[in-house]
Amino acid sequence: MLVATVMMILSFATSALASDSHTKPCSQQETRQAEDDVNHLQNWDQVYRSYRRFSHCDHGAIGESYSTAIGKLLADKWIRFARLATLVKTDKGFEQFVLRHIAKTLPSDTLDKIKENSQLHCPGRQTRLCRLITKAASIE
């Protein structure tokens, strides 16, 4: 019984420490930098660099700007999809970040274009990612 209790306490402490490392606060300076950065995202490499640098600032207006940039890339620049596929293959956190930003707050025509691209123009080896994108863009 004592061993089980100690194991449970250690498990809880470990998970609490792990979750704290993912909740780095966003300073005022980082907020300003992130706001400027997200307004200039034109390709997947720029989105990825911004994600790596500022994902802890991903809330409010910054989060909406990420959604807008990701929505535009998926709707209007599908030709660059291969680069997204390469990035998410090596960083599943980035994959979740992108999927989370295919937000219901995007205009319905943008979401429709994203679904169309992911359903009709998906490269053969990327069906899993395309299905996830289609699901995220579907308004339920």
The whole domain housing 39 covers 35-137
- Position 22 scores a pLDDT of 52
Q: Do the domain assignments include residue 41?
A: yes
pTM: 0.81
| CA 72 – CA 64 distance, rounded (Å) | 12
139: confidence class by pLDDT, cuts 50, 70, 90? confident
> pLDDT tens across 77-120, in order?
999 999 999 999 999 999 999 999 998 889 999 999 999 999 99
Q: Quick one: which of 110, 41, 100, 40 has its CA closest to 76?
A: 110
- Position 55 scores a pLDDT of 95
Number of domains in the chain: 1
Q: Do the domain assignments include residue 11?
A: no
Q: Do the domain assignments include residue 1?
A: no
Q: Do the domain assignments include residue 2?
A: no
> pLDDT tens across 1-30, in order?
544 433 333 333 333 333 333 578 999 999
| Structural tokens at position 69 | 């940039």
Q: Do the domain assignments include residue 18?
A: no
Average pLDDT for 47-66: 96
| CA 56 – CA 100 distance, rounded (Å) | 14
| Structural tokens at position 93 | 């956190």
Residues 6 or more apart whose CB falls under 8 angstroms from that of 125 comprise 85
* DSSP-based three-state secondary structure for 54: helix
